[in-house]
Amino acid sequence: MALPAVSGLPYTLEQTQTTERTLADGTHITNERKTKMVRDSDGRTCTIFFNKIGDRSSETLFIEDPLAHERIMLNGWDKTAEVTHTRPIPAPHPLTPEQKAALETARAKAVANADVPPQKSSSPNSENLGSQSIQGIYVEGRRMTTVIPVGQMGNDRELRRVIENWFSPELKISMEQTNDDPINGKSTTKVTSINRGDPDPGLFRVPEGYKVIDKNPEATTAQP
């Protein structure tokens, strides 16, 4: 099913993701990847990944079209367009008293029949970082810290995972996020430029010369 679209808030932004790891022998590995993300006033989105192998370069595009109920992946290497038909999320219906009672009974049975106690780990600690401006956009920050106790993963020391996120309440997107994980290393994703106008509508169409591959044609007959 497709997620609800965010309409009326178009943008075109460029984003850089930097990953850093330090191996046991002290070797440092740093990689950087650039992407472009766009959203139009109708809520359609397109994410563009720039790929390079040797002297060859190409682009991979992921399109979410809530108007046509489609997800499209454009592969620049082989000029193919994989189309997956989606369905909108229906509005949730409130539970009846009988359904609520049955749900509570099922939860109580699950707890009573549990043979293995849950592993001990601290709940993430949430810290408000206040607000600031990134690329002229007002953002609010939050830091989440999770502590992994000694022995839970075979670790002889306490481990701390820290996620810091700066979110735009207006645009409903993250403008900067850092994930500092002692196991997988540090990853920072940051918006480096943003334009608030509507993008080129051609970005949401399959280019000429691409072979269209319908991944689930039967879904079109089930659309309301």
Confidence label for 117 from pLDDT (cuts 50, 70 and 90): very low
Average pLDDT over residues 50-78: 89
Average pLDDT over residues 28-35: 91
Average pLDDT over residues 19-48: 93
- Cα dihedral 91, 86, 61, 39, rounded to 10, equals -30
Highest-confidence segment of 5-9, 107-111, 176-180: 176-180
Confidence label for 213 from pLDDT (cuts 50, 70 and 90): very high
pLDDT, one tens digit per residue, over 179-206 is 999 888 999 999 999 999 999 999 999 9
Confidence label for 96 from pLDDT (cuts 50, 70 and 90): confident
**If you search the block for the tokens 């002297």, which residue do you land on?**
55
Whole-number pLDDT of residue 88: 64
* Residue 191 tokens, joined: 């918006």
Pick from 141, 112, 139, 108: nearest CA to 126: 141
Confidence label for 210 from pLDDT (cuts 50, 70 and 90): very high
11-90+120-222 domain in CATH 1.10.150? Answer: no
Whole-number pLDDT of residue 222: 53
Whole-number pLDDT of residue 13: 96
Whole-number pLDDT of residue 116: 44
Q: Tell me which of 24-28, 93-97, 212-216 is least confident.
A: 93-97
Whole-number pLDDT of residue 54: 74
pLDDT, one tens digit per residue, over 132-170 is 999 999 999 999 999 989 988 888 889 999 999 999 999
| CA 150 – CA 119 distance, rounded (Å) | 12
| CA 144 – CA 139 distance, rounded (Å) | 16
Q: Is residue 2's pLDDT more than 60?
A: no
Beta strands in 123-210 (DSSP E): 125-134, 137-148, 159-168, 173-181, 185-195
Q: What percent of the chain has pLDDT over 70?
A: 85
Confidence label for 215 from pLDDT (cuts 50, 70 and 90): confident
Q: Is residue 3's pLDDT more than 70?
A: no
* Residue 107 tokens, joined: 């939860």
Domain limits of the chain?
A: 11-90+120-222
